[in-house]
Amino acid sequence: MRHATVLRTGLSALLILGAWTAAGPSTASAAPAGSAELPASAALLSAMQRDLGLTEGQARTRLAQERAATALQPQAQRAAGSAYGGSWFDPATGELTVAVTDAGKAGAVRAAGAQTRVVEHSAAQLDATMKRIDALSAPDGVASWRVDPATSRVVVNVVGSAHGDNDVRTFVAKARKAGPVTVERTAKAPQTFAAGTVGGDPYYTGNVRCSIGFSVHGGFVTAGHCGGTGQQVRGWDNSYIGNFQGSSFPGDDYAWVNVGSGWWTVPVVLGWGTVPDQLVRGSNEAPIGASVCRSGSTTRWHCGRVLAKNETVNYSQGAVHQMTKTSVCAQGGDSGGSFISGDQAQGVTSGGWGNCSSGGETWYQPINEILNRYGLRLHTA
């Protein structure tokens, strides 16, 4: 009976503070004035202490700093103009750093409140390199590729055991011709986090279990690999919820499901197995380096940091573009669940490698991209 209360109260936000990123669309709600003073939930603070090694006081300070950096990011980007090379949050200083290709723009960016670093390539140049690499056909030994604003390069991640593979070497050679590229090794290849049916969890499509992401007006968003357009969705009690109204995978990994038949949506993310925990107040994009938390139907609440944005992930089913990488762990069944930073929705869980016993990395599809794609409006408090 406890599961009934949990699921029905937080239907479209069944994960901890969704942390998704993307350019803020008109459908995304901004954080209210003074939101930096909003109290953090005990469950969120506990997860940050456990997963990030912080004290409660440090966790509260980090949340306030990240909220300020998130609010500052658009203003600092405008100040940099065409010299903008990307940005990231530095936990050591608690400040936002903005990369610029023109030292003459640094003063304007610092006046806006951010630190600066002069780099070689603009964000537009790095994004163009990403698009050229996205057009290539990647072999299984290539895990992903992403823009790294701190080094002003595109980083191609290769599975260590496949580093000497001929197809991998050929891909890397072509990628280097596309623009400024650095190659790094990763432990394992990424995979999606869907799972077989297990009783008492959020929703099912056929024999696949996934997790609900965020409430939108009329339904909820989740991962595209969890079901195709038109497919029926059942809840924890096997009752009919709705159908996939739109779904895209690979290329993208997002979907949305309409809600009816006695189910409804609320603007909260739950700490799994507890009462509703966190109100969702908007979808402002957290910067690289910021803390982010995730909750799913398998592993509940876990936190970590945003490691990279605009990363292409090469799953066995095909590549997925413009993903955000985090240090948060996940396991089968967590797919589709919420990523959240403070009270700002960030995205839905897609896949990764590792688990929540030994660690790993997880990618999410940014929430604002999903809202824009389907013309949805986030349900906010």
Indicate the SS3 state at residue 35. Answer: helix
Q: Which of 51, 253, 277, 343 is catalytic?
A: 253
Strands 344-355 and 359-366, sheet pairing = antiparallel
Does 225 qualify as catalytic in the annotation?
yes
Q: Is 324 exposed, middle or buried (0-12, 13-18, 19+ CB in 10 A)?
A: buried
Does 253 qualify as catalytic in the annotation?
yes
Contacts 24+ apart (CB under 8 A), 107-113: 108/79, 108/80, 109/76, 109/79, 109/80, 111/79, 112/72, 112/75, 112/76, 112/79, 113/72, 113/75, 113/76
185 beta partners: 158
Q: Which of 327, 335, 341, 350 is catalytic?
A: 335
Strands 153-159 and 181-186, sheet pairing = parallel
Indicate the SS3 state at residue 126. Answer: helix
Contacts 24+ apart (CB under 8 A), 110-118: 111/79, 112/72, 112/75, 112/76, 112/79, 113/72, 113/75, 113/76, 114/72, 114/76, 114/87, 115/90, 117/150
Q: Which of 29, 152, 215, 225 is catalytic?
A: 225
Helix (H) or strand (E) holding 60, with range, is helix 56-80
Indicate the SS3 state at residue 151. Answer: coil
Closest CA to 47 of 330, 303, 355: 303
- Who contacts 332 (Cβ-Cβ below 8 Å, separation ≥6)? 193, 194, 195, 196, 298
Show which residues are catalytic: 225, 253, 335
